[in-house]
Structure 1
Amino acid sequence: MTNNQNIKQIISTNLAQIPISEVMSKTILTVYEGWSIKRLSQFFRKHHISGAPVIAADEELVGVVTQSDIIKFESSDPDKQQIQKLIREYCGPFGQEADETEITRIQQRANEYCTVNSIMTKQVLSIDQESNLDLAYKLMVEKNIHRLFVTQRGLLIGVLTGMDILRMLQKS
């Protein structure tokens, strides 16, 4: 075994002995799928976070949204088709078609009109609180994600971030 493989084995063995519940954050800041992108940005800045689980009005977990989603949204201009879709979602199937002036106005203020639901990732990865850190860290690396939502019998009870794992390693 090489030194690199030895180090990986030692880390993996040590992480396998630590339950996620000892490292995860039990404070969960959630956002609503109907919030505007502008409100979401303000929420992230206020709480100094880079991502959050997204819930529907009935408190059901429906996705995850991050600062990267906001940046991707803000660096692209919604086209007329996307604006028409937004209007249909907002006004319903019986809403009227927007004219060019309305489309231009909406494009200029998209971060106030577009919602979290339109930029969030609908696939949410979670892990049971009884799992160990080795499994969590491997899943985070494999899926190239920065956070895992921690569940107990399917209910959201916490969040585990890459930074949580690094802080735990620093204390060791």
Structure 2
Amino acid sequence: MGIKSFQGVRKVLKKEFEAPILVADYMTTKLITFSPDDSILAVMEQFAKHHISGGPVLDSSGFLVGIISEADCMKQISESRYFNQPILDKSVENFMTKSVETIPHDISIFDAAGIFAQHNRRRLPVMKDGLLVGQISRKDIVIAALKLSGHNWK
């Protein structure tokens, strides 16, 4: 006759799921950056070459001074047509958005989603200690939410 256990049925412990939920876990870190001195024409070529729609503008010290986007380039294209001139070799500094909303690297994607809902932006630069460390887009937030959709958050 075998030995019987009188301990009873053991409770199965549910493993805690530690999913990455911070902006730093989903941001893009390999960025195409631009200089305020770059020409709009060169920026448009980079947009087409790398299949991007915008990027951060950094000064010579590497500090974020603006964002240049396809919409900013459209201003140059529109002005060129209005004045019946070819696209001029004007600098990024004349067309970039200088008041840049940024997002900290250590906030949750849920908080980031709220920021995107509040501001009508496609992408936001991610900062750590005053330096640019990446960029997160609305698409990145949607992908993160899809990965986390099967989990409950307290």
**TM-score, structure 1 as length reference:** 0.68
Alignment of structure 1 residues 132-143 onto 2, 5 Å = 132-143=108-119
Residue 76 of structure 1, CA deviation:
2.4
Cα RMSD after superposing both structures: 2.0
Could you tell me which of 11, 25, 46 is aligned with 2:28?
A: 25
160, 164, 170: which is aligned to 2:136? 160
Query: Counterpart of 1:154 in structure 2: which amino acid?
Result: G
Q: Deviations over 1:57-77 (max 9, x none)?
A: 232211001011111221124
- How many residues align structurally? 129
Confirm whether residue 118 of structure 1 aligns to residue 94 of structure 2: yes
Report which of the two has the higher share of helix. Answer: 1
Identity %: 30
Which residue among 127, 131, 148 is the counterpart of 2:124? 148
Bigger relative contact order, structure 1 or 2 (CA pairs below 8 A, ≥6 apart): 1
Runs of 5+ consecutive residues of structure 1 not aligned to the other structure? 1-16, 80-103
1:32-47 pair list within 5 angstroms = 32-47=35-50
Which residue of structure 2 aligns with residue 108 of structure 1?
85
Specify the structure having the higher radius of gyration (Cα).
2
Which shifted more, 145-154 or 54-63? 54-63
Query: Which residue of 1 is the match for residue 106 of structure 2?
Result: 130
CA drift at 1:78: 8.4
The residue type equivalent to 2:123 in the other structure is R
The letter for the 1-side match of 2:64 is: L
Q: Name the structure 1 match of 2:52.
A: 49
Amino acid of the structure 2 residue aligned with 1:146: R
